[in-house]
Structures are given as C-alpha cells and as structure tokens.
Amino acid sequence: MDDNSDYKPFLKAMSGADSVQARRFAAAKALEIGWGGVSKVSDMTGLSRKTIDKGVQELENEDELEQPERLRKPGGGRKKAENKDPTLLSDLEDIMKESTAGDPMSLLKWTYKSTYAIAEELQLKGHDVSHDTVRRLLKRDGYSLQANKKTLEGKSGPERDNQFRYINTQAAKFIDEGDPVISVDAKKKENIGDFKNSGRTWRQKGDPEQVNVYDFPSLAIGSAIPYGIYDLKRNDGLVNVGKSYNTAEFAVESIRQWWNMIGKYHYAECKKLLVCADGGGSNGSRNRSWKFFLQDLADEIGIAITVCHFPPGTSKWNKIEHCMFSFISMNWRGKPLTSYETIIKLIGSTKTKKGLRIEARLDERDYEKGKKILDDNMVRLKIIFHELYPNWNYSIEPRTNLLRSRVIG
C-alpha cells in the first residue's frame, strides 16, 4: 500500500466521481483492503475517516443504495481549512522549521512532534484546526511517520532543544535583516567509475546499463567529495566537488566559492553571514582549523561570520540534508557515476517544483590532511563566543590589521 502506483485505476475513478460516488468508492476500497483500510484510503484520497466510515455503513446496509436527492455542486461543500484560514500554512511551516529532520538519501522528512501537539500550538495561535487536518497537511508536504529504526539520534535534553530554538531564532533574525543564512555539510563520498548506483532509472527495455560486479575502491577512477552550501532564504546553493580530502580548509573554500559565485551578488549590502553546521567532521565545533580558515575568509570578504552548530548526533536536522542533498540523491539514483563530469551535470540539473536551483563545480585542488594550527595562531583570531553554549555558537569578525598566521603541517 505504500506504493500508490498499484491504485492508479482506483484513484483515476475517484477523480471523476461526485461526492457520494467518491465516498462509496473509497468505502469499497477500504473494505477490500481489510484491516486498516479506512486509514490507508484516507491517506491516498484525502477523504476524512468519518466520510469513509459513512460510506462503509451505506455499503454494509442490506437495503438498496438510494440515489441522492441532491448532488453537491462543483466546488461546493466544506472548504478546506487552509482555504478558509490564510495564515494556517505559514504558521504550520514556522512550527515545523524547529522540528524537522530528513534522510539525505530519500525525500522523506519527519518531525519529533505529534500531530496533537502541533494542532495545540496552532490553536494557541488562533487557528481552529484538528490533528487530522495537521496530519493531512504534513503528508501533503512530504512528511512521513517514522518507525524507531535508524531514527534515534543522540540523547535528547534541554541543551539539545535549546540549541535548536537558538539556531531557529538566529536564522530568522538574519533573514529579517537581509543577511544570508546558509546550511553546510559534506555529502557521502562517492567512488567514480562503472559502479552500481542504488535505485532505478528509465531505459529501453532489456538494455540495462552495464556496471562492475564488485565495488572495490581499487577499481575507481577517483573519489568525489560533494560539499554543499544551501541558502535557506533563496532555496538555492552550490556543491563544491572535491577530489582529495574533506578537510576544514576544503569546507571553508567551498563557502568561499559560494560567496564569490552566488552570495555576493544577492547580498551585496549584508554585514554578516550565518553558517549552520554539524557539530563534527571538517566543520566541527572542536576543529581548530575550521575556525582558523573561517577567520581568513572573514578577513577576505569583510563581513562577520556567525556559526551555530547542531548538537552531537543530530545531523539529519540540518536543512541541507532534506532541502538539497535528498533531491540530488533522487536525481542520480540508478545512474552510475562514471566521471567527474557526470557528477557535476547530475548535481547541476537537480531541480524541484518549489524552485530549487544548484550550481556545481569541480575543485581540482589537493587538500592536505593533518594540518596543525599553533596556539599563537589561535589567539590571533577575532572570535566572540556567544553566551548560550559558546562551544556551539560563536562569531568571527574580520580583522583590520591582517597578520597572516603560520600553519605547520
């Protein structure tokens, strides 16, 4: 039932039915499915459970079905909540911003809040809405109920929730003031060559693309490290595809490329930049090189760079995962990544109905692993730690008198 393609004839019949016919068609399908049928048909059609239950009662009644005396006019009947309440969708979106995660390898999104809790929050904002309506709207926007398998991410607690709220508050403030907010992260490393890529794509019948039987790295032409920068306000971004190592220097260079190629043209008058990043990896909160190279970038572009890190074990809450990386994965599924050119083209051709646009470039530079930053270099950073969780939240301001720090390999 998870794949609605098996129900295309049924859904097509529903689309041309009047309200009474639709109710009875839905009830018949629910009875055919059996246990849980009402819920499943409600999910597919958008009809309420109450409406389908009424149809079931009609079908189970021994009396002959009667023709309705009055059919609903096209467009008649109860208006949907989002049509009657112009601010409902925007308020729901604001609530979900604080509580949404996604799987970077799919289009699924999920939230840690129940539909009852979300409905209560909306009611406090003055909306007359039920949990059923919330459920319908979330499903329409790509949210999914998730089992506990592979969705538990670290220990929850006051620090984690407070940091989520702080990130959301900072992002809203920056956007309101016309300053850019970017979400950054490195996507999974990909081997380049004739390797199987999960998923399926349309080809002539009986003509599958030939790939290697084994996925040994030794058979690869090279490896690709996509580092992404996603602009939350503009719904666009850049992927810088590296060929060597995912280092802090590479991460900051990716942000630099975004600024030079995209950011400075849309935010010419901005005074600051907010970077939302995971707590580990090349852009980790404890990575000295990350802060060091960010200082060089702040000096170069002349604006302050604020960084807010996600708490440990919460990487899927980073917006770039389900706003950009998931769509890239969907776009290249089933297509072997045979060359760097192929990867750049597939990333650059990724688009969505909501207007997502992505620039992609190949970074030929060889980044050195294991660079050490001296204490003398760290004390020269013009870094201001925030009052709330200073290890996760800090701002790096441009220095006026630049003294290039020495880096020891």
Residue 262 vs residues 66, 210, 224, 397: alpha-carbon distances, Å: 64, 38, 22, 21
Lowest mean pLDDT among 21-25, 171-175, 269-273, 310-314: 21-25
| Cα–Cα distance measured from residue 160 to residue 165, given in angstroms and rounded to the nearest whole number | 9
Q: Counting beta carbons within 10 angstroms of the beta carbon of residue 332, is it exposed (0 to 12), middle (13 to 18) or buried (19 or more)?
A: buried
Higher pLDDT, 372 or 206: 372
- In this predicted model, what pLDDT tens digit does every residue of 209-218 receive, in sequence order? 444 433 445 4
Q: Are strands 109-111 and 100-102 parallel, antiparallel or unpaired?
A: antiparallel
Whether residue 224 is predicted with pLDDT greater than 50 in this model: the reply is yes
The band of 23, judged by pLDDT with boundaries at 50, 70 and 90, is confident
Q: How many CA atoms lie within 13 A of 9 on its CB side?
A: 2
Where are any strands of DSSP class E within 299-374?
304-309, 357-363, 372-373
As a whole number, mean pLDDT of residues 194-200 equals 48
Between CA 383 and CA 394, with CA 389 as vertex, the angle to 5 degrees is: 20
Question: How far, in Å, are 61, 62, 324, 349, 381 from residue 337 at the CA level?
Answer: 59, 61, 18, 14, 41
Under CATH, which architecture does the 158-408 domain have?
A: 2-Layer Sandwich (3.30)
Hey, which bits of 54-166 come out as E strands? 100-102, 109-111
pLDDT category of residue 62 using cuts at 50, 70 and 90:
low
Q: How confident is the model at residue 150 (pLDDT cuts 50, 70, 90)?
A: very low
The burial class, CB within 10 Å (0-12 / 13-18 / 19+), for 187 is: buried
pLDDT given for residue 405 in this prediction: 40
Please state, rounded to an integer, the average pLDDT across all residues of the chain: 81
Provide the CB-side half-sphere exposure for 341 (13 A, CA).
0
- How far is residue 115's CA from residue 119's CA, in Å, rounded to a whole number? 6
Average pLDDT, integer, range 116-127: 86
Instruction: Give 173's contacts (C-beta < 8 A, 6+ positions apart).
Output: none
The pLDDT tens digits for 262-304 are 999 999 999 999 999 999 999 999 999 999 999 999 999 999 9
Q: Where are the domains of the chain?
A: 4-60, 81-140, 158-408
Confidence of residue 227 (pLDDT cuts 50, 70, 90): very high
Residue of higher predicted confidence among 69 and 383: 383
Residue 240's pLDDT is 98
Q: How confident is the model at residue 78 (pLDDT cuts 50, 70, 90)?
A: low
Confidence bin at 309 (pLDDT 50/70/90):
very high
